[in-house]
Structure 1
């Protein structure tokens, strides 16, 4: 397990405990349980399993047709480009396996574990513990936010009910507006549940049991979601932001990079960074830095390029265009920079949310009039936090080169800072239209009618198992089951 212990060890401990209990009783006739098939797993084992499965999947995953970040989102936002297999994301094609595997994985490996924690650690559960409940609410919300931002309407209010007293096997789909309302409420509830004077928790591989950091993550994530829906629900979003920013004691938020939500990996398999597994252990060299990113950072004299990319044989940081057919793209192997060593280290962190992102959220909100605050101050603090995240200092003339603070500049800097977090960068691009990418290379060939994918299609399994509800979801989304229908928060 990443950063604390291995979840396989945790499971072994759980099973050993159950076996010990069963071997110490004299009332064998009163027991009707199979010690090799435990019916209840404690939150201390469910939590690390759910966190690692969800964050690994979001960050990259080590299995082909599972890599939703590096085989789709990071290519869509032109952080990465491909030098081979352009039909795996770079030209906007997506395999049915990628959308179905990730749909199933986020629900089954992540959400179900968090839901089990919420049920058993709630006031009426078998093992009440408000801090476990609060942490699971935060993680469940984060995974639901990924799903709705990628697919649109999703099963939400009736999801995760397959093992309840009144099971629902064909859950309805809720609109994104409804999902966002539920998520924002759950994050507020999570902040109330989480208490630094409350019961301790174990198995927390994200923050090591530091409940204050979980509170900061809950409220920072709530600001992310409020800002994301602000163009559609300005009054509600402004009220949420005012509530959080108006009472920092009750609603603490990230205050430095030390609060960043990230999964610390190790050099021990299988707890290594997913990119390391794919690009080093498995020897895949399919990805390079996009020329869109390299050209922008080079023009700004942005030293983050030295972390994001490796220099080519001439000592330069260069990329090549997205969407090139394999025969053209492979010609750039000798000149196009590979993904930076920092990011392919075995112990490189898998990042969920940062102090830099939070400041860009607040800068945008200030520019839009959603909060009262200094947009320029937030903007510059966001840039500084992003550089500092990699132990870099902002170059003396950097802010001058960046220019006056505008919404476009805020989103452009956010796009740079979100390197590695392709899903978030893709969501922001689809929501705002920024940053504006250069015209496609004349040799590029794109699927999806050349339209940057706006969403993922629902998996075929949903049409087989839940047809009426998934067809209703298409009407909610307002378009066909394609990758050109704009999602609810699009401005």
Structure 2
């Protein structure tokens, strides 16, 4: 009997241990179950500031793809995704963790990232879920869509609040791979980004609810409270390093090596201005390889609007310049700018011409050129010579054309889709649609259609948003609120 009790006891102990071991498999003892806000900040920054995009370069008539029909190049796109809500979920998680360990500075940074990601979404589609987004844990699976006007208003207020909350007394910022915790540079980014948003609302300058010109003036006229970028060292940008998953996005990219050529109208613009940035953007055309370095005649492009066959003939004949090798064989290359000093200077030049602020438009314009050329590592003497050329000066009656031309050059392979959005707002520079390869009836789209998943999972709300904005239906040519002059 005693032996039987011992056996039963051993059996029960073994069973209990077996259950414990099984349950223990459910949790990895070597992996944390909580993410600190600094770790989340690092991840979020890599998603927000990695704005190197060949897709935009195709749509913005800077590059041409020759191995197939690319929807971005030929304006044949349809739907885009809601992927930025995944980024917003990480921001929400950073907020939760900041509250858990009482680190309010991360809540302040979250205001910027919430603004940044929701702006990317609304600029893509128009109205999108915002106030009711990210409430799945509360059962909010079918969020209503916020009006674009309300999104802009909330974003501007949130950015102002973020600037005001960042003071010298703020907590230390860990995990910051962009500014290494520098509070002043974060304030400069927040306010420079606000200036971009306000200028994007130029068609709404008479909107009394948004107070666009007044908000713009409040920032410009109070630099102590609202500091702005003072140079390229303040750029909101992601610097790449030669480590796995941290290299330049197109390093060793086969398509970039074999199928990307310079767009003809872009090359001709650079050649007409005798712009040495061309030598940093492109390789010499094979047909002109014997010409000396620095000879603008050695470069050529193909038309983004032409058919693949037409471009292939010209490429085979050696007439077209490939994109510069550094974009695919340098693991570090140049940083990816999200919001930059050069762009800010061009915005200020435009603002002077619009009467939003006082100052010298030419000074801001030349500052933008200087900053862009320094970013692309143009020699100082060449920059000085370039800025004195008659073709580079602001031409009376054509000042805005000059500004947007230089701004478009400065955007080459950085700032995400901002080059396209700027052309959408202003119509400048003119994008060629004359070729036989064009889709969408040779029209430049104004937006992207909503994701198909929304039609399946949130049909009532997305349908209401479409009906209120686009009477013709969910169409890439629909004109969103932002593009309608008040």
TM-score bucket of the superposed structures, by smaller chain: 0.7 to 0.9
Superposition TM-score, scaled by structure 1 size: 0.83
The Cα of 1:148 is off from its aligned counterpart by 1.0
Matches within 5 A, 1:159-238: 159-163=133-137, 166-234=138-206, 236-238=211-213
| Inter-partner Cα distance in structure 2 for 1:176 and 1:249 | 31
Partner in structure 1 of residue 394 of structure 2: 404
Q: Which deviations, in whole Å up to 9, do the C-alpha atoms of 1:330-363 show, x marking residues without a partner?
A: 2233331122234332113111011110011111
Structure 1, unmatched stretches of 5+, are 1-30, 60-68
Task: Tell whether 2:39 aligns with 1:45.
Answer: yes
Query: For residue 120 of structure 1, what is the aligned residue in structure 2?
Result: 97
- Counterpart for residue 64 of structure 2: 81
2:246 matches 1:271:
yes
Shift of 1:364: 0.9
Q: How does 1:8-407 map to 2 (within 5 A)?
A: 34=27, 39-56=33-50, 58-59=51-52, 69-71=53-55, 73-94=56-77, 99-100=80-81, 103-104=82-83, 106-108=84-86, 110-121=87-98, 125-163=99-137, 166-234=138-206, 236-279=211-254, 285-313=258-286, 314-315=288-289, 316-333=298-315, 334-344=318-328, 345-348=330-333, 349-392=335-378, 393=380, 394-396=383-385, 398=387, 399-405=389-395, 406-407=399-400
1:458 aligns with 2:453: no
Query: Does 2:472 align with 1:483?
Result: no
SS of corresponding position for 2:203: coil
How far did 1:283 drift?
Answer: 6.5
**3-state SS of 1:274 partner:** coil
What's the RMSD between the two structures over aligned residues?
A: 2.3
Q: Residues 283 and 324 of structure 2 are in contact (CA less than 8 Å); yes or no, is this contact kept in structure 1?
A: yes
Q: Distance in 2 between matches of 1:430 and 1:417?
A: 17
Q: Distance in 2 between matches of 1:374 and 1:487?
A: 33
Q: Work out the CA distance in 1 between the residues paired with 2:44 and 2:139.
A: 22
Contact 1:81 / 1:287 at 8 angstroms: preserved in 2?
yes
State the shift of 1:379 in Å: 1.1
Secondary structure of the 1:247 match is coil
**Which residue of structure 1 lines up, in the alignment, with residue 13 of structure 2?**
none
Quick one: structure 1 residues 413 and 463, their matched pair in 2 at CA, closer, same or farther if it must change by over 3 Å? same
Superposed displacement of residue 249, structure 1? 1.3
How many residue pairs end up in the alignment? 436
The within-5 A match list for 1:394-473 is 394-396=383-385, 398=387, 399-405=389-395, 406-420=399-413, 421-438=415-432, 440-441=434-435, 444-473=436-465
Which is higher, the Rg of structure 1 or of structure 2? 2
Structure 2: segments with no counterpart, 5+ residues: 1-23, 290-297
1:238–1:370 contact (8 Å) kept in structure 2: yes
